[in-house]
Structure formats: structure tokens, C-alpha cells
Amino acid sequence: MRIRRVLTYASTVLLVAIAGLTGLSNPAAAAVDDYVFRYYKNTDLVMSVSGGRFGNGVGDIVWPDRYLPDASDHAGFQRWEWVARGNGWTTFIGQNEETPLALAVSGGSLADGANIIQWQWNTANLEQQWFVEWHGSYALVVNRKSGKCMAVRDGLTTQGTGLVQKSCNVNLTEQRWYLEN
């Protein structure tokens, strides 16, 4: 059985530093590793692409972990490649067999409640850039354009609940994520 581990602050700093040294613009070439975002309030749920579908605008949700012990891996629609963008910012690219799509805020919105979706990766899109802000063993994931945090809608713990952005608040558990690789 695969040993799962939670990414620590020190290893994250090292990974981001290594990725930053590459200076590459190709998401596959600049990637350090891929991760699963595990929901703090219900650790059986992870960030997934809705319905396992891939395409611009498809929403991201929390869904039961599809960890496959025989394959020692999570399903591709639940893994996100970490691509350093410089100065601590990163882009998360969905791990699938089709076009690489990035985690994004729908329409580049600045509003609380805007949906988190996947969209064709573009290095110029600030709504596709994120900062992982560590608080011990969990992290807040902050959008560069809006300055808001990725959250599970209404703090629900049911499968299929959508992801949105909200004003960051370390006390709101719906904004807390464990990152695993």
C-alpha cells in the first residue's frame, strides 16, 4: 500500500525553489510534482474535476477520494501538477490525458462566491495563479488576481459540492486544505 504523506512547509519551500530555477514556460516541463488537495473538514473528500470531465469551464468539486491502492495513484481528475510561476506563485494543472487545463476563478471574477473551474492554461492569466499559504499542516490557497481563498461552497461536507473563492479567513475550515503527493 502506498504511503501517503502530507507536504510540509519546508519541503514546499524547497520544491518551489527548485521549480523556480527552471525558468520554463511549458507546464509539463516546469512541473515539480503533482498533488491531491484533501478537504480539511472531511478528509475523505478531495478536489476533483466535476464528473471527471475535461473542458474549459467545467467546475471543480469535492468528491470521494479515488485512490487506487493497486495502481498506487489517485484518479487523474483528482491530481494537480504544481507549476512554479515565480515569487511563490504557482499554477495547478489538472492531470488528465487531454489538454492541460489550469485551476482558475471563473471569468477572472473578484467577487466572493465566484466558481473555481478549469480553463485552458495561459501564462498571462492571473486568475490561474495561486499562492499556498501554510498554517502548520494545512494550507490556504490564495488566488493572485482576487486575493481570495479557494473554499468549499457553504462549508458543506457532501460529495459534489462546488468550489468557490471567498475572502480569506484562517478560521474558516472550508478554506483549509491538506496537500498530498
pLDDT at site 96 = 61
Percent of the chain's residues with pLDDT above 90: 33
C-beta of residue 95 within 8 angstroms of C-beta of residue 48: no
The per-residue pLDDT for range 6-30, each reduced to its tens digit, is: 332 223 333 333 233 333 333 333 4
C-beta of residue 95 within 8 angstroms of C-beta of residue 81: yes
Using 50, 70 and 90 to split pLDDT, how confident is the model at 59?
confident
Please provide the CATH number assigned to the domain covering 9-180. Answer: 2.80.10.50
Residue 109 burial (C-beta neighbours within 10 Å; 0-12, 13-18, 19+): middle
Sign of CA dihedral 137, 2, 162, 149: positive
Amino acid of residue 58 = V
> Domain boundaries in the chain?
9-180
The per-residue pLDDT for range 146-164, each reduced to its tens digit, is: 999 999 999 999 888 889 9
> Residue for cell digits 478531495?
46
Using 50, 70 and 90 to split pLDDT, how confident is the model at 68?
very low
Is pLDDT at 39 greater than 70 in this prediction?
yes
C-beta of residue 140 within 8 angstroms of C-beta of residue 175: yes
User: Which of 168 and 46 is assigned the larger pLDDT?
Assistant: 168
**What cell was used for 93?**
494543472
